[in-house]
Amino acid sequence: MIDFRLDEEYEDLRNTVRDFARSEVAPVIGEFYEREEFPYEIVARMGEMGLFGLPFPEDYGGMGGDYFALCLALEELARVDSSVAITLEAGVSLGAMPIYRFGTEEQKREWLPALCEGRALGAFGLTEPGGGSDASATRTTATLDNGEWVVNGSKSFITNSGTDITRLITVTAVTGQKPDGGKEISAIIVPSGTSGLTVQPKYSKVGWNASDTHGLTFDDCRVPEGNLLGERGRGYAQFLSILDEGRVAIAALSVGLAQGCVDECLRYVKEREAFGRKIGEYQSIQFKIADMELRTHTARLAYYQAAAKMLRGERFKKEAAIAKLAASNAAMDNARDATQIFGGYGFMNEYPVGRFYRDAKILEIGEGTSEVQRMLIARELGVAG
């Protein structure tokens, strides 16, 4: 029997996060967004609720849930605001998850409790100024010297890297050469405040303006040899597996934004009048909203399936790419249609759809562009090398 209803525990979580997003995030986040200010109070409340610890065992300070629980929370947050949602997504999937997946027991005990409780944030430094989607083009280096890694290089567009509660950045760096002549890329934990690590001024961004994003430079930045995360030379492969999971999370976030566009439009078309009628009475508006709901519903099913395969331990690379591609497209298309329905008001920052429009585009770029997703799908189908 096929049953798409959520278990009671998932449903309770979704309702709890939905209430939080509507009552505590929605009334104030617009002001943070316009000031380009990180919402520390909201993040602290999310930590108190256990959202940063959702997919981690209780032994490490987590909630004992799973990755799908995180996805449900991300969807509900993004229905109201994507800056808050991406702070959670990056903090969990890019900050804490690599420690949990690949760290030693000592590293897990040292870092995970604070990350799970939201008292600290972690970041992952992969992208470089000349790298973009080609992560194998890493130029940052790390060499061993008297029991320490000496890191030199730079990273770009790193989420959660410069907040007052950022505690670590996991960095991919070239640590040698493989037997085939290729780069040996490893992952190394660099604690915040380490000498030689410089957090560049925050970016001036089109969207996600209440989230934290910086470039990083490393100038003879020294950390203990024991800060190697996982196996030496496996840093790139480790991160690819983290990206597969992260794409399901970004798909959930994208679905939330798409659904938020539907929510706002449903309210607006019942109030706004044109030519003596509520605009929701016009078939052109009805069809546009129907298409928005169609995209959202389809994208949600896609990320549900990808998450289900992930939790069963099955290969889910293709499904993750499909979900990310479908959901980011839905978010972008819905944001454009919602702005059109709102007309001139949709172009004003005081209305959520204007913020949604600014936030949607990055979903087609971050954690693998739409072109990369198509490439991955083709590879999984066996029609690409």
- SS3 of 319-372: HHHHHHHHHHHHHHHHHHHHHHHHHHHHHCCCCHHHHHHHHHHHHHCCCCCHHH
- Is 106 a residue of the active site? no
The residues, ordered by sequence, that sit 6+ positions from 115 with a Cβ below 8 Å of its Cβ are 52, 53, 61, 91, 95, 96, 99, 121, 122, 167
Question: Is the dihedral angle over the CA atoms 129, 135, 138, 143 positive or is it negative?
Answer: positive
Q: Could you give the CA distance from residue 222 to residue 224 in angstroms, rounded to a whole number? A: 7
Query: What are the residue ranges of helices labelled H in the chain?
Result: 8-20, 26-35, 40-48, 67-78, 82-89, 97-102, 105-116, 235-269, 283-311, 317-342, 352-360, 370-380
Compute how many other C-beta atoms are within 10 angstroms of the C-beta atom of residue 285: 20
How large is the greatest C-alpha to C-alpha distance in the chain, in angstroms?
79
Contact (Cβ atoms closer than 8 angstroms) between residue 190 and residue 209: no
Q: Could you give the CA distance from residue 13 to residue 68 in angstroms, rounded to a whole number? A: 11
The residues, ordered by sequence, that sit 6+ positions from 193 with a Cβ below 8 Å of its Cβ are none
Query: And the tokens for 213?
Result: 């994003």
The helix-helix angle for 82-89 and 67-78 (nearest 10°) equals: 160
b/e 166-180 (16+ beta carbons within 10 angstroms → b) = bbbbbbbbbbeeeee
**Partners of 214 in the beta sheet?**
158
Contact (Cβ atoms closer than 8 angstroms) between residue 212 and residue 192: no
Q: Could you give the CA distance from residue 145 to residue 221 in angstroms, rounded to a whole number? A: 12
**Partners of 185 in the beta sheet?**
174
User: What are the phi and psi torsion angles at 65 (to 5°)?
Assistant: -95, -150
Single out the catalytic residue among 89, 225, 367, 371.
367
Q: Catalytic positions, please?
A: 367
